Structure 1
Amino acid sequence: MTLSKTLEYVPGFFAQGEPANPQDVGGYAPHMGLLPGKTWEHVDAYIEGQQKTRGVRVKLILLLRHGEGLHNADKEKYGVQTWEAGQELQEKYIDAPVTAKGIEQSQAAGRMLQEEISRGLKIDRVVISPLDRTLHTYAEAFANSRDIPNTVVELARETLGVVPCDRRKPLAGKRIDFPFADFSEVQDEEDTWWQSDHRETEGEIEDRAQKLLDYLMHSRSESRICVVAHSGISRACFRVVGHRYYRPWNGEFVPLLVQEATA
């Protein structure tokens, strides 16, 4: 894997990105992982300071993994061996919805969001994967923050291909079920990204993660963006910018402070 030549993770602000911390530092870490002594005002000051004094573009990208989906629950229920032997290929998992537990996790994420907003967190825009489980998660987590504009973006999807849970249902039904979501950037009614005979490789999802990050950093004007997405695409983003390995929990926020790489 080759790191991005243009973007890099800024350490020193969030526990999830610190090499000295164990994998389980997250799991709904207090204050979304802000390190002791750090505040959201410090994050904003770094963003503004780098841009003003050095001309370096910096953004806060706040990744939120969706609440538990039906496929997550059933993989745990049946076990990995049975799941991968064919259970995961059943059509009932197409665009897998969140479970009752997933809704609770999304609501818990919403409570944490409100707590951190009260502590100074600012979010300028929400970008959402077009799968049902991310849209449901957004609906619950941002129920009290609908004033923040949102955009649904295909680049934020989970690993593409073969597995039905990652296949998108048509847009028509989603527009009805999620009338508060802005689908204007989703071009196709049917899913043209998912292939039944090819699963995205690690290199391919890293290429897509690079495109997603480039979109967030260069096509969007906002400096603080929440992305409601998935474990696979989140981990690909981590790898691309040099963040340590970290697997986000369902309903967990993982903040990334990302800047243009300097020589």
Structure 2
Amino acid sequence: MDAIATPPLYQFGRPKRIHLVRHALGIHNVEPEKSRDPLTSFEFFDAQLSPPSWQQVLEQRKYVRESGLLDKIELVIVSPMSRTLQTAVGIFGGENQPDRLDVTHVEMDEISTTFKSRPPIIAYELCRERMGKYECDKRGSISQYRSRFPAVDFSLIENEDDVLWDPNERETFEAVKARAIKFIKWLWERKEEEIAVVSHGVFLQQAMIQLIENNNRYTLPLRGHPINLGRNLNCFLLIDDDDPCSRFKNCEFRSVIIAHER
């Protein structure tokens, strides 16, 4: 694979910067990796964040404010699950949230009812985790989420209850890849130029793989990858990451720039 010089951004038209964020540590994430069987228990239904994970959330909240990133992001897209909603509201929510690191689940949910988000946060079903079998990946009703997270816009969710989750069959990786491609194209067509996406480990990893695989250009520290977003666009993906296809850590940020060449 031959290295090429990364073109300067002024050579591109309509660059779009996407900040991908995996949810903070959920109660289901502390289960032993050697066995996923406990996750079929209703105990893990729509898994919440674990108590220690609020430190991850609030440290990232501090980062986006002190770095100025919060002022640049025009929109936050979030998977409609408790752990992603808690993470999105905790990181990108209003200024009246506490900065201490021992905030509890109940306190954070109560705090989320007292402000309007800046930037706006929109829930979108397409960026959910791989669905089926595991109770942790089954969502609750939208009316419950609206009550808990009134700052979040749920208007893009078509069904009140979860009609996508299958108790008997796990969604295939091929289906997740197809959703990832559809989601990327949907992001590309939006008017916002700087967007944060709060989602899940498998979905985010598959999205990165779909953006990068089958490309033949490679540069460091930024990597320029031609990608197909339809409409005959000659696009490049610029990634500031040495291993973009690795699994996201809990509450990890990973940023990419998508642009088409002039």
Measured against the shorter chain, the TM-score band is 0.7 to 0.9
State how far apart, in whole Å, the 2-side matches of 1:143 and 1:65 are: 16
Alpha-carbon shift at residue 121 of structure 1 (Å): 6.6
The answer to whether structure 1 residue 171 and structure 2 residue 112 are counterparts is no
The RMSD of aligned alpha carbons is 2.3
Q: Structure 1: state its 5+ residue gaps.
A: 1-10, 14-44, 52-56
User: What is the match of residue 72 of structure 2?
Assistant: 122
The answer to whether structure 1 residue 50 and structure 2 residue 50 are counterparts is no
Say if 2:24 and 2:83, in contact at 8 Å, map to a contact too: yes
User: What is the match of residue 154 of structure 1?
Assistant: 125
Identity of aligned residues (%): 28
Say if 1:66 and 1:102, in contact at 8 Å, map to a contact too: no
User: What is the match of residue 231 of structure 2?
Assistant: none
State how far apart, in whole Å, the 2-side matches of 1:259 and 1:49 are: 9
The answer to whether structure 1 residue 59 and structure 2 residue 16 are counterparts is yes
State how far apart, in whole Å, the 2-side matches of 1:91 and 1:49 are: 52
Say if 1:123 and 1:225, in contact at 8 Å, map to a contact too: yes
**Larger RCO (CA within 8 A; separation ≥ 6):** 1
Normalising to structure 2: TM-score of the pair? 0.73
SS of alignment partner, residue 100 of structure 1: coil
State how far apart, in whole Å, the 1-side matches of 2:64 and 2:132 are: 32
Say if 1:129 and 1:157, in contact at 8 Å, map to a contact too: yes
State how far apart, in whole Å, the 1-side matches of 2:177 and 2:259 are: 18
Alpha-carbon shift at residue 251 of structure 1 (Å): 1.1
List structure 1 runs of 4+ shifted beyond 4 angstroms.
Answer: none
Say if 2:92 and 2:118, in contact at 8 Å, map to a contact too: no
User: What is the match of residue 93 of structure 2?
Assistant: 143
Alpha-carbon shift at residue 144 of structure 1 (Å): 3.9
State how far apart, in whole Å, the 2-side matches of 1:121 and 1:144 are: 12
Alpha-carbon shift at residue 149 of structure 1 (Å): 1.6
Matched letter for residue 64 of structure 2? L
State how far apart, in whole Å, the 1-side matches of 2:11 and 2:120 are: 25
State how far apart, in whole Å, the 2-side matches of 1:259 and 1:163 are: 37
State how far apart, in whole Å, the 2-side matches of 1:159 and 1:66 are: 14
Alpha-carbon shift at residue 259 of structure 1 (Å): 3.1
Alpha-carbon shift at residue 50 of structure 1 (Å): 1.2
Q: How many residues align?
A: 207
Structure number with higher strand proportion: 2
User: What is the match of residue 252 of structure 2?
Assistant: 252
Cα deviation, 1:111-147, whole Å, max 9, x if unaligned, reads: 11112216x9711111011000010011211134622
The answer to whether structure 1 residue 226 and structure 2 residue 188 are counterparts is no
State how far apart, in whole Å, the 1-side matches of 2:93 and 2:141 are: 24
Q: How does 1:164-203 map to 2 (within 5 A)?
A: 164-203=135-174
User: What is the match of residue 51 of structure 2?
Assistant: 100
User: What is the match of residue 87 of structure 1?
Assistant: 38
State how far apart, in whole Å, the 1-side matches of 2:21 and 2:44 are: 21
Alpha-carbon shift at residue 211 of structure 1 (Å): 0.7
State how far apart, in whole Å, the 1-side matches of 2:6 and 2:55 are: 31
